[in-house]
A and B are shown apart, each in its own frame.
Chain A
Amino acid sequence: MSAYQESIGECGLHCFGSISASVSHELKNALAIINENAGLLEDLSFMAEKGLPLEPARLKSLAANIAKQIQRADGIIRNMNRFAHSADEAVKCIDLGDTLALTVALSSRLAAMKSITLDFKPPPQPMCVTTRLFYLENLIWLCLKEIFERAGVEKEICLSLRPQPQGAAVIFSPVDAPVTDAGAIDLLGYLKAYQTADSQRRELLITLPVDLTVCPS
């Protein structure tokens, strides 16, 4: 295995591990709230047994809290499941809007830890490319990680998509400089993509070919 292939493999594992850890943390938070709501229900039952009146409104509110956290956990698991399945096929035709929405959702905790708001503007029409889905998600995640690290006072990062003559561009803004992470640079090559930074518009563009299998290296 070449050093380049090893680097791509390591990037994939690192990203998968980090996202799994973040998801498990979020799930634990949801479970902790469910646990406390269940505990409070138990407390109220003990009090009722001792003759204290049970208020139906209180019970309704606890049930609503539990349902809210179950919905939250379900959304987290759903996203994790989609992410895990993105490695099923090495190369496939994907809707970039869907992929970006998923990667943004998976990165939301990473953004929250840096007090950054992550916003994604989906395109009006589906934008499809044939690419290595799992590694594209890795690349976007690595770009976001570096952008968050150097965000400084910028507390909102916006992602969008723009059609290009030979493919489509994922746009991060406001960003002033290209990403320098070695793994991200290797992934750009692996996906036959390239990055350009537009300092006037304060945008970083990651341009992907329409079809990676027919695009010359």
Chain B
Amino acid sequence: MTEKILLVDDEKDFLSIMSERMQARGMDVSTAASAKEAIQMAGAESFDAIILDLQMPEMDGLEALKVLKAQKPELQVILLTGHATIEKGVEAMKLGAMDLMEKPADLKTLADKIKKAKAKKVILVEKQTEEKMKHIIGGKGW
């Protein structure tokens, strides 16, 4: 099944070429050139994974990650960065990022991580549905 991806980067040339290559591999890719635009899109649609640049104008990747996870905890976010420091990596993981990759990224590795992200999201959504069901059943006096 096709993975639905949101690719977020302020480098428009990067967005266009990367999305073309991902689409050629059968992924359904949407793009956003800012964190704010990404938050709006993630609120309106469901994505299997979000590939997020760490350094962007106005709102950086870590701030965006916080908002995205607060909005939809099941979201799987992979951060892309030009310079990955250990501190940033640890901070990103603590905030709930699924992974962090350094630019230039290898598309095969990224595609593998996207597949894992999708599987992880499915499990989380199933768990959420199960808990909802338990809550509904528990709420009734059956």
Contact = CB atoms under 8 A, between A and B. Distances in A.
Contact of A25 (B57, B82, B107): B82
Interface string B44-78: 00000000000111101000000000000000000
Nearest to A31: B104
Given A24-B82, A29-B103, A32-B11, 12 more contacts: A21-B83, A25-B55, A27-B82, A31-B103, A32-B82, A36-B107, A39-B21, A43-B24, A65-B13, A112-B57, A113-B55, A113-B56
Interface in B87-106: 102-105
B14 A36 contact: yes
Contact of A35 (B24, B57, B60, B104): B104
Interface residues of B, number: 20
22 contacts: A21-B83, A24-B82, A24-B83, A25-B83, A26-B82, A28-B83, A28-B103, A29-B103, A31-B104, A32-B14, A33-B11, A33-B13, A35-B104, A36-B14, A36-B107, A40-B20, A40-B21, A65-B17, A68-B13, A69-B13, A113-B56, A113-B60
Interface residues of A, number: 24
Interface of A: 21, 24-29, 31-37, 39-40, 43, 65, 68-69, 112-115
B104 A36 contact: yes
Contacts of B83: 21, 24-25, 28
B18 interface: yes
Chain B binding surface SS class: loop
A29, A36, A112 interface centre (most CB from chain B within 10 Å):
A36
Contacts of B103: 28-29, 31-32, 35
Contact of B21 (A31, A36, A68): A36
B111 to A, nearest CB: 12
Contacts of A28: 82-83, 102-104
A31 B83 CA distance: 12
Contacts of A43: 21, 24
Nearest to B14: A33
A25 B105 CA distance: 14
A68 B55 CA distance: 22
A113 B57 contact: yes
Contacts of A33: 11, 13-14, 17
B87 to A, nearest CB: 13
A26 B14 CA distance: 13
Nearest to A72: B13
